């Protein structure tokens, strides 16, 4: 079916606009670059002679500043050509309502103790209630934990959805995640729906109680087990790491005439899958689960579009499917788009974003900038894929998909049981042997960030991607509620990105001649996270130690060379503060982000760098760490009060505490030297070091509180306080040469 014409052209299904303020921004970049070059010139022309005090520290600071300048240039690539997107869903409905493609939704979970089943099914229910033809919507839950508790929760959800979906559509509910909806509503919005509203809430709470009770008991009620054949799969005493493939069609929206809601309308298909796990076979973590889902779904529903979401990222906007299709089905440009990436947003953020997990700048600046050069990274959740782009196919501009010709659903004369038995073989451990799965087909294996490397390979095959950030967010998840969770999460991300840099998929090599240089640089922002740790550590430690020893590393405030340093500091911080405030952050939120920037660089990224080297040398093996989605009540309370959560001792915390104490000692020692050795004249030559060390002390205030002043369970252990003081004292006693 053709598009509507206006004059001699089609009305597009989406619009792309250039971001405002480009000229002012580019002038700022030019001035900043000149300032950075002048700092480099100062360092190169003022290196202390051999034998002079502080020579090697000076050279180290010079190297660090060269790195920071290089990395700054890399980060500007995403700000140079930012674009914004908007969609026209009414045009999509007018042209293609009867020809909308099948959509398969993949929800992935791995451990019921970390990702509670009630959390998982709330995500499932939210995507099942999308405003989309139910006969063209199929939802697959991949349970890599192989848990009967998760299966039981999904079975409960399959019954609840018969009431939930018509309720959502009748009253235009948003969001369509029941837990989120009822938690934000103290009562029905209108009197006319009060009876139905309270009845639905009661039904949800009863289901929630049954699921929670089963979880606490660690078993399913016997009368429930006997009513559904699916529970027989767990009769053999299977474990999460050793079990046969389990495939259960809970709602067969294509082949079962009884698969209808309480108003007689067809329900979306709902499938439970636990791929086979055996100790002797590597299962390739989430990438392996996704590839099993791709194969299984291709035989059951074969939706042309695949949406994958993490189990803690519920659908917050019932129109997201139609938004994505505006890009895929656009007559002029849709055929070249492989995936549409929505941002990761969170519904449990504190006012000032204590752990900097909102990633505002990434979602509001970096990804729109990447979109201007061919598309954003694939981040593993909230992403709509064209199925054929995940099959390893290269982009061909002559191959324009005819959506209406694509079959949807399995054979109509085949029963659910027959489908399950036939398709189970696609989810076995041995199916992928001697195939291209994990290499040329599906998601790539061998990297903790399988999503990023998969998106890069898709773009290098000629496809483009799109970033879409609607006013009503498409997906909302759970942000880490403790410092340890946040640091571990970033350790995994930065380790995976650094592994990409050191592999054959390095964006600057693998992407050369295939994607634009600016897009390669955009990938480099994240691939260089781990290497950032060493220049940052050097800059955090040695200028402060030199302040303690009275060794000047920066020009005097009366020197002309002082000006480029102050210009770069003031201009850069003025810009990033304005950028943060413009995109909705508070001033305290910006400060919290600066703190987390430092903490991550000195711990998460450092450990990621070291672990990658151990992996490359064959000493260690790759692992996939799941971030906990639940926390204790007292932890949650401190999080809501924006009190930083420590609560345990770890190598990361030892480093952070030692650096905090070291900078405090150096600031005190430097101030003492100023008062004893000449006052203002000494201060003139050490001013920038005082500014640097003082800033580090201010950033570390929560650490000092956790070490010495707090009495709650979230404080740092006393033993760690003693260790950090000893380490700092020893560092201050080491002579600087």
Instruction: Pick the catalytic residue from 261, 451, 497, 611.
Output: 451
C-beta separation of 653 from 723 below 8 A: no
Q: What is the 3-state secondary structure (H, E, C) of 548-589?
A: HHCCCCCCCCCCCCHHHHHHHHHHHHHHHHHHHHHCCCCHHH
Question: Which of 144, 252, 310, 371 is the catalytic position?
Answer: 144
Angle between helices 587-599 and 483-501 (to 10 degrees): 60
Residue 8 a catalytic site member: no
Alpha helices for 332-425 (secondary structure H):
360-361, 367-371, 416-423
Q: What are the b/e assignments for 519-549, b being 16+ CB within 10 Å?
A: bbbbbbbbbbbbbbbbbbbbbbbbbbbbbbb
In this structure, the dihedral spanned by the alpha carbons of residues 655, 490, 179 and 324, taken in order and rounded to 10 degrees, is 160
Nearest in space to 350 (alpha carbons), one of 642, 647, 735, 599: 642
Task: State CA 284 to chain mean position distance.
Answer: 19
Contact 350, 640 (CB under 8 A): yes
DSSP 430-475: TTTTTS-BTTTBSSPPS-TTHHHHHHHHHHHTT-EEEE---SS-SE
Q: What is the DSSP letter of 88?
A: -
d(CA 510, CA 500) in angstroms, rounded, equals 10
**Phi/psi of residue 103, each to 5°?**
-125, 125
Cα 482 versus chain centre, distance: 16
Sort residue 353 into left (φ over 0), alpha (ψ -120 to 50) or beta. left
Q: Who contacts 730 (Cβ-Cβ below 8 Å, separation ≥6)?
A: none
Q: List the one residue out of 247, 271, 251 whose CA is nearest residue 259.
A: 251
Q: How many CB atoms lie within 10 A of CB 400?
A: 11
Shortest CA distance to 284 belongs to which of 627, 615, 576, 624? 624
Active site residue 144: yes
CB neighbours of 277 closer than 8 A, spacing ≥ 6? 144, 146, 240, 241, 242, 243, 283, 429
Distance CA 737, CA 735 (A): 6
* Contacts of 178 by beta carbon, 8 Å cutoff, 6+ apart: 122, 125, 160, 164, 204
DSSP 219: S
**Which residues 6+ apart lie within 8 Å of 620 measured at CB?**
611, 614
Active site residues: 144, 451
């Amino acid at each position: 079916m053709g598009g509507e014409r206006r004059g001699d052209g089609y009305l597009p299904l989406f619009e792309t606009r250039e971001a405002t303020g480009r000229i002012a921004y580019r002038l700022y970049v030019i001035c900043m670059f000149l300032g950075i070059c002048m700092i480099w010139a100062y360092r190169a022309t003022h290196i202390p002679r051999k034998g002079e005090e502080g020579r090697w520290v000076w050279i180290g600071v010079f190297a660090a500043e060269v790195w920071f300048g290089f990395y700054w240039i890399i980060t500007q690539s995403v700000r140079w050509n930012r674009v914004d997107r908007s969609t026209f869903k009414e045009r999509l409905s007018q042209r293609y309502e009867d020809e909308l493609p099948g959509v398969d939704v993949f929800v992935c979970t791995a451990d019921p103790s970390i990702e509670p089943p009630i959390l998982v099914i709330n995500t499932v229910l939210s995507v099942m209630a999308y405003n989309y033809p139910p006969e063209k919507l199929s939802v697959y839950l991949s349970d890599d934990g192989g848990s009967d508790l998760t299966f039981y929760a999904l079975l409960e959800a399959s019954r609840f959805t018969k009431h939930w979906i018509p309720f959502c559509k009748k009253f235009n509910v948003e969001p369509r995640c029941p837990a989120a909806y009822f938690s934000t509503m103290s009562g029905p919005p209108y009197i006319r729906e009060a009876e139905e509203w309270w009845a639905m809430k009661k039904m949800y709470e009863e289901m929630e109680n049954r699921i929670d009770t089963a979880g606490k008991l660690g078993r399913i009620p016997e009368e429930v087990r006997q009513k559904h054949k699916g529970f027989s799969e767990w009769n053999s005493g299977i474990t999460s790491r050793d079990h046969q493939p389990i495939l259960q069609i809970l709602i067969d929206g294509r082949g079962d005439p009884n698969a209808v809601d309480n108003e007689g309308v067809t329900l979306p298909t709902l499938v439970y899958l636990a791929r086979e796990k055996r100790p002797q076979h590597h299962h390739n973590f989430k990438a392996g689960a996704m590839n099993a889902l791709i194969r299984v779904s291709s035989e059951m529903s074969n939706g042309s579009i695949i949406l994958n979401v993490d189990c803690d990222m519920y659908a917050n906007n019932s129109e997201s499917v139609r938004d994505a299709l505006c890009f895929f089905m656009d007559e002029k440009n849709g055929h070249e788009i492989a995936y549409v990436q929505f941002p990761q947003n969170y519904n449990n953020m504190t006012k000032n974003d204590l752990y900097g997990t909102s990633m505002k700048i990434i979602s509001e600046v970096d990804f729109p900038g990447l979109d201007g050069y061919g598309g954003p990274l694939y981040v593993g959740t909230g992403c709509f894929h064209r199925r054929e782009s995940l099959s390893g196919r290269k982009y061909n501009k002559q191959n324009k998909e005819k959506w209406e010709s694509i079959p949807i659903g399995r054979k109509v004369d085949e029963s659910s049981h027959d489908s399950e038995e036939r398709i189970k073989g696609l989810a076995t451990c041995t199916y992928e042997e001697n195939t291209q799965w994990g290499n040329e087909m599906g998601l790539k294996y061998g990297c903790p960030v399988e999503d990023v490397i998969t998106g890069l390979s898709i773009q290098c095959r000629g496809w483009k991607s799109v970033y879409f950030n609607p006013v009503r967010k498409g997906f909302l998840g759970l942000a880490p509620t403790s410092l340890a969770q946040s640091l571990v999460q970033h350790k995994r991300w930065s380790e995976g990105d650094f592994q990409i840099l050191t592999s054959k998929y390095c964006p600057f090599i693998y992407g050369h001649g295939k994607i634009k240089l600016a897009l390669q640089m955009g990938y480099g922002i994240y691939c260089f996270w781990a290497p950032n740790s060493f220049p940052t550590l050097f800059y955090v430690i040695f200028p402060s130690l030199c302040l303690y020893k009275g060794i000047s590393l920066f020009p005097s405030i009366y020197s002309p060379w002082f000006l480029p340093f102050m210009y770069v500091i003031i201009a850069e911080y003025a810009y990033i503060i304005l950028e943060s405030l413009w995109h909705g952050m508070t001033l305290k939120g910006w400060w919290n982000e600066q703190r987390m920037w430092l903490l991550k660089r000195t711990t998460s990224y450092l450990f990621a760098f070291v672990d990658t080297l151990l992996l490359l040398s064959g000493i260690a093996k790759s692992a996939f760490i799941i971030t906990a989605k639940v926390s204790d009540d007292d932890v949650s309370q401190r999080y809501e009060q924006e009190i930083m959560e420590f609560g345990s001792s770890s190598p990361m915390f030892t480093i952070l505490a030692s650096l905090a104490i070291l900078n405090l000692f150096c600031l005190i020692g430097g101030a003492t030297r100023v008062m004893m050795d000449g006052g203002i004249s000494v201060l003139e030559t050490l001013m920038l070091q005082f500014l640097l060390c003082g800033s580090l002390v201010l950033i570390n205030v929560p650490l000092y509180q956790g070490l010495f002043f707090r009495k709650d369970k979230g404080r740092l252990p006393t033993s760690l306080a003693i260790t950090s003081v000893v380490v700092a004292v020893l560092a201050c006693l080491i002579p600087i040469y």
